[in-house]
Amino acid sequence: MGFFFRKPQMPSADQALPGRSQPLFQPPLHFLNHRSLELVPEGGQVAMFGMGCFWGAEKRFWLLPGVWTTSVGYAGGFTPNPSYEEVCTGRTGHNEVVRVVFDPIQLPYSSLLRCFWESHDPTQGYRQGNDVGTQYRSGIYFYGSEQKEEAERSRDQFGLRLREAGFPAITTEIQPAPTYYFAEDYHQQYLAKNPGGYCGLGGTGLRCG
């Protein structure tokens, strides 16, 4: 007897779990630099990305010079203040995302986009490697028109490189930044706390430029 793979499907707002009116927890300080995960310093900007399991994705960004803080959370769904267990059911609509607070003078948004494209495979739909589910989809969630234009331009440029290399079309969603819900404390900077932990990111092996 064969086994049939059921393709993940996004829930509708009516199908989503109800969630709750209050956050489940208060975010801690960043494990590595002890800065507030909520604070955006004067002159700083925010970026948000979904690229598979957020443990490995967050590490790719905290290593970049010019990053103030990174955090992981849930965004792009319907359920208010979800828990990790609820997101994993596929019934919240949320994506696992990384929120990056950065200094645009030291680190332009284009460099964050390059890290995004080169660190995962944006052609896989609701999965990333062995991780399967709507919470593992590729996404860029922009703050303002400039980020939107840069994101779309980078998608078109990297998409051309992928097609030339024989990869399928990019499935990355590019949307205005939705409400962001911090993930549980143990998820924050997970691979700094657990250096041998699971990463889950692969990539196409192609560079943006």
Amino acid identity for residue 197 in this structure:
G
Amino acid identity for residue 51 in this structure:
M
Q: How far apart are CA 16 and CA 193, in angstroms?
A: 32
The confidence score (pLDDT) of residue 2 equals 46
- Output the pTM of the full model: 0.95
CATH architecture of 45-193: 2-Layer Sandwich (3.30)
CB atoms within 10 A of CB 164: 9
Q: How far apart are CA 3 and CA 182, in angstroms?
A: 36
CB atoms within 10 A of CB 39: 12
Active site residue 53: yes
The confidence score (pLDDT) of residue 61 equals 98
The confidence score (pLDDT) of residue 5 equals 52
Pairing of strands 67-75, 45-51: unpaired
Of the residues 53, 88, 199, 208, only one is catalytic, namely 53
Residues of the chain with pLDDT under 50: 1-4
Q: How far apart are CA 32 and CA 13, in angstroms?
A: 37
Please give the backbone phi and psi of residue 168, each rounded to the nearest 5 degrees, phi first: -70, 180
**How confident is the model over 173-206, as pLDDT tens digits?**
999 999 999 999 999 999 999 999 999 888 998 8
Q: How far apart are CA 109 and CA 179, in angstroms?
A: 20
Residue-range domain boundaries for the chain: 45-193
User: Is the separation of the CB atoms in 125 and 5 below 8 Å?
Assistant: no
**How confident is the model over 48-59, as pLDDT tens digits?**
999 999 999 999
Q: How far apart are CA 18 and CA 209, in angstroms?
A: 44
The confidence score (pLDDT) of residue 4 equals 47
